[in-house]
Chain A
Amino acid sequence: MTLPETEGPAVGARVRRKDGDLVLTGRGAYLDDVELPGMLHAAILRSTEAHARIVGIDTSRALARPGVRLVMTAADVADRIGPIPHFFDSANVGGQTTDFRVLATDKVVYEGQPVAAIVAETLHDAEAALEDVVVEYEPLPAILDADEALREDAPRVFEDWSDNVVVRLPFAEGDAAAVLAEAEHVIDGEIRIQRYNTAPMETRGYVASWGADGRLTFYASTQNPHPLRSHIAKMLSIPEHRVRVIATRLGGGFGHKFPGFPEEGLLCVLSQAAGAPVKWLETRAESMLVGAREYVHRFAVAHDGEGRILAIRDRIVANVGTLGSIGGWGMAFVAAMAFPGPYRVKHYDIESLPVVTNKPPWNGARGYGKESAALAIERMVDLIAQRLGLDPATVRSRNFIPPDEFPYWTAAKRLDSGNYEGALSQLLEMAGYEERREEQAKARGEGRLIGVGVGFELTPEGGDFPGSLVRGFDTSTVRMDPTGKVTVLTGVTSPGTGNETGIAQCVADELGLPMDDVTVLQGDTDVSPYGYGNFSSRGMAVGGGSAILAAREVRERLAAAAAVLLEADAADLVFARARVHVAGDPERGMSIAEVADTVFNRSIAIPAIDQPQLEATRTYAPENILHVPDDQGRISPYPTFPYSAHLAVVEIDRDTGVVKILAYAGVHDCGTIVNPTFVEGQFLGSIAMGIGGALWEELPYTPEGRLGVRTFKQYLMPRAPDLPDIAVGSQVTPSPFTLLGTKGAGESGTSGAVASIANAVNDALLPLGVAVDDMPLSAPKLLRAIREGVSA
């Protein structure tokens, strides 16, 4: 496919995705398309118990089955592999921690924990043999509810812990207790958020293959190939350069594919023991074991008679399941850190408690705690509006941090830039807010339950956590070949969102080349510089930023050579349309290909062209990552702060409680936009994810600690007919702290959608005098509130 030639710069243009044709026509290869000679298949026997001692495991019958090559238990792998390194070790922030192994040793602490693994010639044989592994469990009391886990007499999930709290995470400014004690208006409330995850279209999967030279190649559906390589080398106690991780094309990431999973190291051991490549692909049911987002907020908010927020106290309890070596529990940090959102609140006291239970561990989930904070904050704003009889949009305007106060400090954020009022005004105008309210009043008169809900989200992005494998910088190499074409090797990866195309746009502009002349390679640790992959919407800021810096260095080298050939001053040279020419004299120039050819093939022979090299590697970090506490003890691990304003109009079916979304609009500001099509696509997908979480998606557990859903007929994701046409608007307030002024653009939408839907549904319930703050806002819950007049 030929990409459209852009007139003028590629950055900012709706350039088509480089590999879009492959994806659309089903020719893009994913992890499951990896087929190696002699490859075997693994199936994993998982604990059926939420908490139990393993009395014994009998693998003999499974081993005797046709096609089965290998059955391994914890005892079999003990000598081959060590503990799994933590994605975020809670010990780094003074918390309680524990070791995790690829297979359960003497105890299981959640349903679905890997207990044994089978390697067979076919996946059929491997899965069939699962039923012939006999595990004898001695059940132990399982604790599933976080509040119960907090009780002093609660059983401990980990025997050597003093309680079930991972760590206490306080974020405070001012004196919230004093303000709350004296304020005229105080609202108390509770919001419960269900456990749900991200359900990427492609589940996780891995293929491990040891070479004859003892070098390991590990294909992985992962968001972070280099950190995964570090983990694997450490677990296996082998030098890191003897491991190659190839991150295959991702069919979605959303945090589900952050490393730290037991299956990663396990596959390496299985392949080693079997003496053949081994593949494992997570089933849909297995993917639903991965949890996220189960919180309770118990809050008090003080406000004045005009709706200005004076103080917030929130006690957040996060049911993070068993801690796990995957990094999901860190969302409990962000859920508190994100306070007080876009609002100027001088007194707040937020504490988040990640609590362990016998549910499977969390992994990252788009929003990463910000959606939890946004829901709580935005419900508080609506409750204030309701209490005072004010318009909820007006209350937001009265509380926003004004544009001239940026950069704006909170306890753990230095907000880069913003015009929150501008985004909200644009939204209200675009969505026809006044008319929506008039229509609502009319419909209410007819007895219909129509709700209009506003939600505003602030989305800290690009986070940097030293001591973990989540860092805020990254590295790219720009390499020009003798024909003047460019290959970019970058440490950031793409979950399928198009950042490779965005990076190519940046590099093409810097070098004056068309898009087709730039190839971007990601995900292969033998190819790309050490980098941190994909998380926290960092791709353009640090992948694009480092590639731009490297491209500029290559351009300088080209300019030096061209200056000799054109007998001009390098500073006077212009790079455009694949040519370099003297400014003001387009005839006095030559093609970039000719310059490149000369550099490689005639260097040294031509005096003054003595560096036969057109390659540069640069690292870039946004300026706003601040780890050294300022004079008030404040830090800012996140550098960029995109935001968006949302409006949802819903109708609740009075007879059934079923919610229909009648209209939806969002205005997004992520600073400078490299490719509007990609940014809009991310925003729309993220809104859909938020809507799904607000209304339907849920991972329920039985009292015995077993997951109640296995398929998409039970875990309900939004489909196209569930969603209205979503109107999207854009505002651009560049970050002063990133190279191009970009902010993260991959997570925006989820938080605002959860909040606007929750506010809209509760706005619809308002005439009935009830509210539902127990998520998701399912039809049975809403009908109960409607029929019985009881809030939930």
Chain B
Amino acid sequence: MIRTRLTHHAPTEIADACALLAEHGEDAAVVGGGTMLVPQMVRGERTVHHAVDLRRLGLHRIEVRDGEVAVGAMATYSDVAASAELAEHAALLRIAAAGITGGAQIRNQGTIGGSACYANPASDVPAVLVALRARMQVHGPDGTREVAAEAFFVDAFASALGRGELRAAVVIPAQTGRAGYEKIKLSESSWPIATAAAVVGDGAEPAVTLGGVARTPLRLDVGALVDGDGTLGDADALEALVRERLTEPWEDELAPGSYRRDIAGAVARRSLIKAKEERA
């Protein structure tokens, strides 16, 4: 059970939400879908006295702005999976959202934004946002700023958000190239052990972004390894690149770092194959 006398705030203005977060600092938590936060509080692993709930801020929308898609902080995995805009502009996010473990209960409740802010290395969202070159729209006491996804994930379970800041939306540039997503988990319940999001072809900078294998997403430029069509030439070279870059693999209760390092190359390769198949 939640062990503290908790004040639940549901502000209707972002500025008010930021003011609450600034006021209470470490003693406040942002509630998005709550699928991570609430169980942690129930287990006594996280203790705060103020919950700042985003539900009344109007951040549920997924909308196209100037050719980019803005996904509101409260958009759930189900919203993302059902979004026609994302199907067109950022299929990768949609594929990842559809594969989230936990069934309809989690997909209808958990949010892309919440997962990004939680920044669990062993999860889908951070690496997918890096692969998409997404930008985080951050509101804070000093106004609004944008942070590139790569800069947002500063460490395991840590984001670039400062005191009083909340992440209102993620902005995803229109996707060029084809995307492929590969995820390895030990079983259906398992957190992702290794994910790879490939973007190749059609003028995109060919890249594979690995998730689950390091403290933060690992974006690999594979321009030298694939042809203009996105076809991987030398799988061994990809394996070597992954091993070279993956110096400190992530480790948790489910799998040691050495295992993640051992499978990351194959996962990267499979994502490239899937990206190539997307056209067909």
Contact = CB atoms under 8 A, between A and B. Distances in A.
Interface of A: 122-124, 127-128, 130, 283, 285, 655-658, 695-696, 700, 708-714, 716-722, 778-780, 783, 787
A722 B187 contact: yes
A124 B1 contact: yes
B4 A128 contact: yes
A127 B190 contact: no
Interface in B166-193: 184-191, 193
A709 B186 CA distance: 15
A124 B2 contact: yes
Interface in B30-79: 39, 43-44
B188 A719 contact: yes
Given A656-B184, A657-B259, A780-B256, 18 more contacts: A123-B1, A124-B1, A127-B1, A128-B4, A130-B44, A695-B187, A696-B189, A708-B253, A713-B190, A714-B253, A716-B190, A717-B189, A720-B188, A721-B188, A779-B259, A780-B258, A783-B262, A787-B262
Given A127-B1, A655-B266, A780-B255, A285 B190 contact: no
B191 A127 contact: no
A710 B256 CA distance: 18
Closest 5 CB pairs of A and B: A655-B266, A128-B3, A719-B188, A780-B259, A123-B1
Given A783-B262, A787-B262, A716 B3 contact: no
A221 B224 CA distance: 63
Interface SS of chain B: loop
B265 to A, nearest CB: 8
Nearest to A717: B189
Interface of B: 1-4, 39, 43-44, 184-191, 193, 253-256, 258-259, 262-263, 266-267, 270
A278 B193 CA distance: 42
Given A124-B3, A127-B1, A779 B253 contact: no
A656 B4 contact: no
Contact of B187 (A122, A130, A718): A718
B182 to A, nearest CB: 10
Contacts of B1: 122-124, 127
Contacts of B184: 656, 658
Contacts of B255: 779-780
Nearest to A124: B1
A144 B263 CA distance: 31
A71 to B, nearest CB: 16
Contacts of B253: 700, 708-709, 714
B104 to A, nearest CB: 13
A641 B193 CA distance: 42
A285 B43 contact: yes
A124 B44 CA distance: 10
Given A124-B2, A696-B187, A714 B262 contact: no
Contacts of B258: 780
A741 B256 CA distance: 51
Nearest to A709: B253
Contacts of A123: 1
Contact of B189 (A122, A285, A716): A716
Nearest to B45: A710
Contacts of B187: 695-696, 716, 718-719, 722
Nearest to B265: A655
Nearest to A125: B3
B43 A783 contact: no
B184 to A, nearest CB: 5
Nearest to A786: B262
A311 B63 CA distance: 73
A656 B266 contact: yes
B60 to A, nearest CB: 26
A720 B188 CA distance: 8
Nearest to B253: A714
A688 to B, nearest CB: 12
B65 to A, nearest CB: 36
A655 B189 contact: no
Given A124-B1, A700-B253, A787-B262, A779 B186 contact: yes
B3 to A, nearest CB: 4
A280 to B, nearest CB: 12
Contacts of A714: 253-254
Nearest to A123: B1
Q: Which of A712, A714, A778, A780 is packed against the most chain B CB atoms within 10 Å?
A: A780
Given A285-B43, A710-B43, A714-B254, A722 B263 contact: no
Nearest to A128: B3
Nearest to A779: B186
Nearest to A122: B1
B270 to A, nearest CB: 8
A709 B253 CA distance: 7
Contacts of B44: 127, 130
Contacts of A130: 44
Contacts of B185: 658
B259 A783 contact: yes
Contacts of B4: 124, 128
Contacts of B186: 658, 696, 716, 778-779
Contacts of B262: 783, 787
A720 B44 CA distance: 30
B227 to A, nearest CB: 23
8 contacts: A124-B4, A127-B44, A285-B43, A657-B259, A714-B253, A718-B187, A722-B188, A780-B255
Q: Which of B44, B187, B256 is packed against the most chain A CB atoms within 10 Å?
A: B187
Contacts of A700: 253
Nearest to A654: B266
Contacts of B2: 124
Contacts of B39: 711
B97 to A, nearest CB: 17
B24 to A, nearest CB: 19
Contacts of A709: 253
A713 B189 contact: yes
Contacts of B190: 713, 716
A208 B249 CA distance: 50
A480 B209 CA distance: 72
Q: Which of A695, A711, A716, A778 is packed against the most chain B CB atoms within 10 Å?
A: A716
A521 B210 CA distance: 57
Nearest to B2: A124
A719 B106 CA distance: 15
B144 to A, nearest CB: 34
B3 A712 contact: no
A714 B212 CA distance: 15
Contacts of B266: 655-656
B83 to A, nearest CB: 24
A725 to B, nearest CB: 16
A696 B258 CA distance: 19
Contacts of B270: 655
Nearest to A778: B186
B218 to A, nearest CB: 18
A127 B263 contact: no
Contacts of A720: 188
B124 to A, nearest CB: 14
B263 A783 contact: yes
Nearest to B122: A713
Contacts of A656: 184, 263, 266-267
A656 B189 CA distance: 17
Nearest to B185: A658
Contacts of A778: 186
A448 to B, nearest CB: 15
Contacts of A712: 189
A656 B3 CA distance: 41
Contacts of A779: 186, 193, 255, 259
A122 B3 CA distance: 10
A655 B39 CA distance: 34
Contacts of A696: 186-187, 189
A93 B188 CA distance: 43
Contacts of A713: 189-191
B251 to A, nearest CB: 11
